[in-house]
Structure 1
Amino acid sequence: MTVLVIGASSQIGRFLLPRLDAIGCEWVGLSRAAPADDARWLRGHVPDAMPALPPVTAILSAGPLDHLATWLATTRLDGRPHIIATSSMSAESKRDSDVPHERELSRRLRDAETRLATTCASWGMPWTIFRPTLVYGAGMDRSITPIVQAAIRRRVFPLPAARGQRQPVHADDIAAAFVAALGNARARGKTFPIGGGDRLSAGEMFRRARRSMGVATLPAPVPRVALALAAALRPELRGALQRLDSDLVADNAELEAVLGVHPRPFRPEPATWRTPA
């Protein structure tokens, strides 16, 4: 079995490639920053800078779903590879956001999911989509890691008053789900939510992140009135600040029953926040 990994140098891709090696699965990695000294890597990106591809039995995509859906709709692939890709729980959580660009993101994700499924059905290709919650694990996410890295520089960690439930999922657990879906007939034609192994308040999530940093920081509680003021003064932050009191979680029941994947609880370590060289 040979698989193509799109976004092979992404946060998920960095965990996915070793897992493929561990099961003896040959892979071809696609990345804008492909290493020049490894024949297994191809330089390029979807949808409009794709190199010639070898025959593959599956395509695993950790990149933008709308770009993948566009490429698939305009490309005739050899065989009928299993398409396994990530979307996001933002497809639902931002559907009714007060912020226009967040509603647009939700619409694009849902549209891309539909286009991917329709294209695969028309060409007889199986597909599986994962909708992760907040992803962390390799210092490359755009949610928790920037806050932690800023706190390391400034030695001050903001702790917002937030009651909404969170379920951060480690990138390696998403990689495990990719591998579990390979060759699994029960995973075909399904969209799986995937969240971490425990649910905790957003406030507790930030506190655990602070405790995991490996450096001392001054805790800086941010009261609710300050959050409301920031949302009023910074419209681009309004959606994220308003969601601090909303539950952003996933039901892992089908993931666990069908794929046997049980994501880990949120217990980060200092290395979690370091961006790879």
Structure 2
Amino acid sequence: MSGALLKKLWSLILLGALASVLMGGSQALAQTFTLTDNGWTYSEDISQQGLGDFKDTNGTDHMWRNWWWYRTSNMQREVSLSNLVPGAGIELIGTNEARLRFVEQGLFFELTYKLTGISSTLARVDIDWSITSTGPALGVDFFAYSDFDVNGSISNSGMLVNPQTVRFIDNTTAVDVVASEAGLVGYEVGTYSDLLGKLNNNVADNVSNTGLPYGPDDMENIFQWHGTVVSGQQVMQGTLTKLVNLNYNPPPPGPVIPEPGTWALMLSGLAPVALRLRKKA
């Protein structure tokens, strides 16, 4: 990141702090945001670690929580983003886009959410994120937590579409959570609230690339990225996309592969036939 851009970020922080002082410091900072587009709605409550909604055009909610944790090389545990820049932490851009800004222990986080209602059965939220150091070089692990209750149900199935995509499924509705590839460590899937507990405990945890296929049960997912940020020189950045599809067509079941015991029975049945054929010969 250039020195000019870094100065711009700090100017934004200072202006926000000044605005907070001028308001007397008594007015609580906004902690929620809501996006709308083409009949779809997306919202998060920052004070509740991203507790929110992703509602379709019929008002059905498919999401329980989406939020972010980080850990630097000199920290012993993960910490959730919570320290919004005073007066400039949430910037709404039209009705379907919002930019969040946080300052956390020498790091500046910026996340831009954009909701796109593609049709009455398909919508996506794209979240572009970046992390900048305001001090010396730091190793950073960044975590994206998702808990979707597809169709309002806490009994979802899950599958790994590819190393960057985890799918939540309820009948003919699916939600794909897609992580950008650069710096991606991997994923982990579990049952609520096992993974949320890991992120909020007092020890450092990393994803294990396990948990799929899953369910049906109350599914949750984490993606983890790792990188190094250097003040004025190097930035971590990436994207998380959440795609809701109300017309999901499950893949056809694969061929049934007999278990070892079944193979043994089949082979034992073929043995007398082979013996009779030998006698006839």
Q: TM-score, normalised by structure 1?
A: 0.28
State the structure with more CA Rg: 2
Q: Which has the higher strand share?
A: 2
Q: Which has the higher helix share?
A: 1
